[in-house]
Amino acid sequence: MTEITTDRVVIVGAGLGALYAALKLAPRPVAVISPDPLGEGASSAWAQGGVAAAMDSADSPESHAEDTVKAGAGTVVPDVADLVTREARDYILDLTTMGTPFDRSEDGGYVLSREAAHSFARVVRVKGDQAGSEIMAALIDRVRETPSIQVLEGTIAVGLAVSDWQVTGVAVQDASEDGSQTVTLRAPAVLLAGGGSGGLYALTTNPPRIRGQVIGMAARAGALIADAEFVQFHPTAMDVGEDPAPLATEALRGEGAVLINKHGARFMQAMHPDAELAPRDVVARAIFAEVQAGNRPMLDTRTALGERVKDLFPSVARYCARNNIDPARDPIPVAPAAHYHMGGIATDTEGRASLSGLWVCGEASSTGLHGANRLASNGLLEALVYARICADGIADTLPPVADADLIEVQFADGKSPNKAKAVEDLRKTMTQDVGVVRDRAGLTRALQVIEALEAEHGDCQQFRNMCATATLIAAGALVREESRGAHERSDFPETTQGPGKRSRMYLSDALTIRAQACKELT
Ligand code: SIN
């Protein structure tokens, strides 16, 4: 196996957290591992809503933190909620300085959207529903003009090099060739910022490459994982047969759009006092029940927005148009889809994982901010705050380095195993048995399928990383015998009394649970 030793900090991933951290580390040399051309393939660029921040003079970080804790169903770490919400405003100002064209009112204030479970309109947005892509575009421009940042496009991380619980590097492959030879980049520090796990599910809003590989690679290297069972399903993915499913942003409901079924009846009013603006997990379960009952749930923007939907939400209008839906006249078919992984690599308040030399930010991490149900638009905010924290921590830990050679990676050809069918089977299993509503029988079945798939296709590092994360999610869901936030057990419908416990698990624990589950079925 080829090795390259570099003085560059290696950043795995190329979404918001990765690029923001790279910029905050400048002029320290970094290498960004980006499987796709910058701006493509990262979940951040697909975010529609925006960034939650208490920008209104009547609003406050305390209220934002309170909403975050409440939505998280008893497992948010309050100090983390305070830390992240307290600084939110500064990050919006920083992104503005970096060139993000946030929507502004005539008096120059930030236009704020309303999303579910927020007590105030507090989501800062760009061109209606294009926050993610516009913030990313501004950061990419800055990255391109920053000489200390080397972007290794077309390269994917598949493993961590570890010695005595110290991360010493990252194994990378050619992103276009599953089976290319692996090259290990020996680096002074590694920051994982490579996204979550939504694409492990057949129905997802995440880009195709976001399939739990980064969490899985850290777990396989021995890092502690937290809250793996908490996967958020977005209630209103468009149910139009596309993979990934396009999102119909929650901000539409903030503007008054309602949920109806094929009989034209609204069903959220009977479910929650906040109806369509109930917490995301509540709305997702209600929509799931309508899907299961064959009632074809739909998002109806006709009365609230009419033709205006096309100007105010251009991305949604584009997705509708390519599926022959005119949202001014037709309700939009919707279904819940895996959207955000609250769980991930356990980090402390400094963004450090349990292995030395390893920092994590963004969706791959589990900081304790989101608990069992993330508050809308807190994802991008958390990525920014922890990217900064990680960058500061790395800079404080390492001796200064003024310059570093460019990394020149060359991949030799290898055997390219075709894993498409195995990945499809894995994703189907996750949606069927580890989805919106779970039970012991389904979770046990899923663990057995994951084991069988891994046994058959374990020659592919990327697939093993996916299977590791899938195992952690299903095992975590099996041992959490209660319903809490996004984790709903039909066989344990109650929430355990008292403060909720965060779950913490090594991959070895999850594999023991999996082996036990497989025995039960034989
Ligand atoms: C949305 O716009 O509905 C998604 C926002 C988020 O997931 O934070």
pLDDT tens digits along 294-314:
999 999 999 999 999 999 999
Out of 3.40.50.300, 3.90.45.10, 3.20.20.70, 3.90.700.10, the CATH code matching 236-337 is 3.90.700.10
Q: How far is the CA of 348 from the centre of ligand 1 (A)?
A: 25
What number does the ligand 1 atom closest to the CA of 49 have? 2
Return the pLDDT at 485. Answer: 96
Q: Candidates 67, 231, 236, 339: which one to mutate for ligand 1, based on the most atoms within 8 Å of Cβ?
A: 339
Return the pLDDT at 413. Answer: 80
Model pLDDT for residues 57-115, shown as the tens digit of each residue: 999 999 999 999 999 999 999 999 999 999 999 999 999 999 999 999 999 999 999 99
Give the pLDDT band (50/70/90) at residue 418. confident
Return the pLDDT at 473. Answer: 98
Q: How far is the CA of 247 from the centre of ligand 1 (A)?
A: 8
Q: How far is the CA of 449 from the centre of ligand 1 (A)?
A: 31
Q: How far is the CA of 334 from the centre of ligand 1 (A)?
A: 15
3 state SS of 297: coil
Identified catalytic residue from 8, 280, 427, 489: 280
What is the β-pairing status of strands 30-34 and 9-12? parallel
Q: How far is the CA of 439 from the centre of ligand 1 (A)?
A: 27
Domain boundaries, the chain: 236-337, 420-521
What values do phi and psi take at 360, rounded to 5? -140, 140
Q: How far is the CA of 377 from the centre of ligand 1 (A)?
A: 5
Encoding tokens for residue 99?
């060139």
Site residues for ligand 1, CB cut-off 6 Å = 47-49, 249-251, 339-340, 376-377, 379
- To the query of whether residue 280 is one of the catalytic residues in this protein, the response is yes
Does the pLDDT of residue 315 top 70, yes or no?
A: yes
Question: Does residue 400 have a cis peptide bond before it, meaning omega lies within 30 degrees of 0?
Answer: no
Return the pLDDT at 180. Answer: 78
Return the pLDDT at 147. Answer: 97
Q: How far is the CA of 376 from the centre of ligand 1 (A)?
A: 5
Return the pLDDT at 522. Answer: 65
Q: Candidates 46, 342, 377, 381: which one to mutate for ligand 1, based on the most atoms within 8 Å of Cβ?
A: 377
Q: How far is the CA of 46 from the centre of ligand 1 (A)?
A: 9
Q: Candidates 124, 247, 255: which one to mutate for ligand 1, based on the most atoms within 8 Å of Cβ?
A: 247
Q: What is the longest distance spanned by two Cα atoms in the chain? A: 68
What angle is formed at CA 439 by the lines to CA 438 and CA 444, rounded to 5 degrees? 105
Q: What is the mean pLDDT of residues 220-227?
A: 98
Task: Give, using CA atoms, the residue closest to atom 1 of ligand 1.
Answer: 249
CA distance 253 to 276: 6
Which CATH number describes the domain made up of 420-521?
A: 1.20.58.100
Return the pLDDT at 194. Answer: 97
Does the pLDDT of residue 497 top 90, yes or no?
A: no
The partner residues of 338 in beta bridges, in order of sequence, read 204, 233
Of residues 129 and 417, more confidently modeled: 129
DSSP character at residue 279: -
CA distance 416 to 86: 48
**CA end-to-end span of the chain:** 39
What number does the ligand 1 atom closest to the CA of 236 have? 3
Return the pLDDT at 178. Answer: 67
Helices (runs of H) and strands (runs of E) counted in the chain = 16, 22
Give the rounded percent of residues in the chain with a pLDDT score beyond 90: 93
Q: Count of CB atoms within 10 A of residue 265's CB?
A: 12
Mean pLDDT of the chain: 96
CA distance 201 to 435: 8
385: nearest Cα among 522, 515, 193: 193
**E runs forming strands in 407-482:** 437-438
Asked whether the beta carbons of 251 and 193 are under 8 A apart, the reply is no
**Cα within 13 Å of Cα(166), Cβ side:** 7
3-state secondary structure string across 43-107: HHHHCCCCEECCCCCCCCHHHHHHHHHHHCCCCCCHHHHHHHHHCHHHHHHHHHHCCCCCCECCC
What number does the ligand 1 atom closest to the CA of 232 have? 7
Give the rounded percent of residues in the chain with a pLDDT score beyond 70: 99
Q: Candidates 125, 134, 250, 281: which one to mutate for ligand 1, based on the most atoms within 8 Å of Cβ?
A: 250
Q: How far is the CA of 123 from the centre of ligand 1 (A)?
A: 10
Return the pLDDT at 492. Answer: 98
What number does the ligand 1 atom closest to the CA of 377 have? 8
What number does the ligand 1 atom closest to the CA of 378 have? 8
Angle between helices 213-220 and 461-479 (to 10 degrees): 90
Model pLDDT for residues 177-190, shown as the tens digit of each residue: 766 789 999 999 99
The model's pTM: 0.97
